[in-house]
Structure 1
């Protein structure tokens, strides 16, 4: 069984090839790309396409690798011992299983998403090397080894906030999700809003890619932001004609708060519009 596009997700040929290559090699798939290009959604759609359950581990700056394996709740055990609870005699009552343990003991193959691994400490990836390589880990409190019943399909996402260690990279199959071109973007829009007026989509994409090409923009609008913007355009009945009739006197596109997310970029667009107006008067 191979991964393919789904009704909710447009996957390019090179992305489908990368997913299927990682599955064949039994290596984690490391996915990078601009925020909003569908890295997290990829894991959801791989699970749906293959018919496998999805286990999701969202990484934060405070997340430790050990939490993905298990945690021993010594505080609860101490409290129960003081209260005379019989549960204290079985230490397994105080072992909290992590997402890797959950994936390893699943009765069927699962898709395990390790989302935004670059948010964690630099040592986080190295601390998981052996577990991801050998698909097992040792639980000291129980004196037992947990081994994967079925090797999970592992998808790891990164926004490139930190460099990942070479030893970790060697164990992954890497794919960078390039920003979609206009044709691919039109297909993505059609997935989210089938039957949307062709002219509206065309004009909206013109505005969207024009904004992305503005030099000096601090944060370029992403795919997810385009989808939000289109939703607003439809809700407010802003037609293709209004977008088509835009000119230099309009500083920024209508409902631009869905596309432009900081004041520096708003000011940049306003300055560009002002300069264009002035050049028009001088001409």
Structure 2
């Protein structure tokens, strides 16, 4: 099988490449944690593209139930059709909607299945999927059939660490935490998205970005995705490098800071810090 080594669009560290390939070899779900904006969801997209496989995405919400990943039975529609005398009411399969796990199990070729932001759901959600992810099969109560995976999908599960996941679930996964990129790795990431960016502009932008991240007490530190957006705006607005060079954020607010900071408390904190330092200066 093709080994994952990153892609033209995705810079994967050696540790991350090792984690992806280990989970594929072990046939265990890969549980990816890390700060929001560090490329967890994009990883699944790039793994699928690099391995030439179809991607199925199941985006989890606070109201999502594990059963929805298997199938849903629409009893209300069946009752309505029976009142209308519709002939299809006699086949219960007409009212069963396949979930993402069913679609992944039924696929003619191996697919990559993304279960995105699993920690958004109820705490029992991961436990309710233990048997299905372990045995790669489940039963459809309404029809009595058993659905077994034709090919075991490559499963990538992301979490923003909003809540602890159950131990029994963790034992069945290969785990990897995406650490925040260092300056060298971040340079490589930016070059993927902005290949024409001049070296001195890149260095100046990274200097400001990492300085903002180090401001104590920030509610939400700017992430990789926010840095990419910020640089895109700097280029689009033709911001001169002098606006970034040799200026500490303690003395001046970065231009277009709204791309980096996403709540008013952090903006106020930065403004207050700059004001106090200018006053002391």
Alignment of 1:127-138 (within 5 A): 127-138=128-139
**Contact 2:251–2:278 (CA under 8 A) maintained in structure 1:** no
Q: Which residue of 2 aligns with 1:234?
A: 235
Q: Please tell me whether the aligned partners of residues 7 and 46 of structure 2 are also in contact (alpha carbons under 8 angstroms).
A: yes
Q: Which residue is 1:38 aligned to?
A: 39
The aligned counterpart of 1:224 is 225
Q: CA deviation at 1:212?
A: 0.2
Q: Report the counterpart of residue 19 of structure 1 in structure 2.
A: 20
Which residue in 2 is equivalent to 1:202?
A: 203
Number of the residue aligned with 2:274: 273
Question: What is the alpha-carbon distance in structure 1 between the residues aligned to residue 209 and residue 118 of structure 2?
Answer: 29
Aligned to 1:102: 103
After superposition, the C-alpha distances for 1:58-113 in whole angstroms (9 at most, x for unaligned) are 00000000000000000110111111110001110000000000000000000000
Q: Does structure 2 conserve the Cα–Cα contact (< 8 Å) formed by 1:252 and 1:266?
A: no
Q: CA contact under 8 A between 2:137 and 2:147: conserved in structure 1?
A: yes
Retained in 2: the 8 A contact 1:47–1:110? yes
Per the alignment, in what secondary structure is the counterpart of residue 55 of structure 1?
strand
Q: CA RMSD in A?
A: 1.0
Is 2:166 aligned against 1:184?
no
CA distance in 1, matches of 2:251, 2:211: 14
- Are the aligned partners of 1:55 and 1:110 in contact in 2 as well (CA < 8 Å)? yes
Contact residue 56 and residue 111 of structure 2 kept, 8 A? yes
Provide the aligned length of Structure 1 versus Structure 2.
280
Deviation (angstroms), 1:246: 2.8
What's the secondary structure of 2:56's corresponding residue? strand
Contact 1:137 1:145 in 2 (8 A): yes
- 1:100 is paired with a residue whose SS is helix
Partner of 1:70: 71
What is the alpha-carbon distance in structure 2 between the residues aligned to residue 238 and residue 245 of structure 1? 15
| Residue aligning to 1:264 | 265
Q: CA deviation at 1:248?
A: 6.2
Instruction: Measure how far apart 1:249 and its partner are.
Output: 7.6
In 2, distance between residues paired with 1:248 and 1:167? 46
> What TM-score comes out, normalization by structure 2 length?
0.98
Kept in 2, the 8 Å contact 1:138–1:145? The answer is yes
What TM-score, normalized by structure 1, do the two folds share? 0.97
Moved over 4 A (4+): 247-250
Contact 1:31 / 1:177 at 8 angstroms: preserved in 2? yes
Deviation per residue, 1:2-55 (Å, 9 max, x gap): 111101000000000000000010000000000000000000000001000000
Inter-CA distance 199–122: structure 2 relative to 1 (3 Å threshold): same
Q: Which runs of 5+ in 2 are unaligned?
A: none
Q: CA deviation at 1:245?
A: 4.6
| Per-residue Cα deviation, 1:148-178 (whole angstroms, up to 9, x for no partner) | 0000000000001110000000000000000
Q: Give SS of 2:165's match.
A: coil
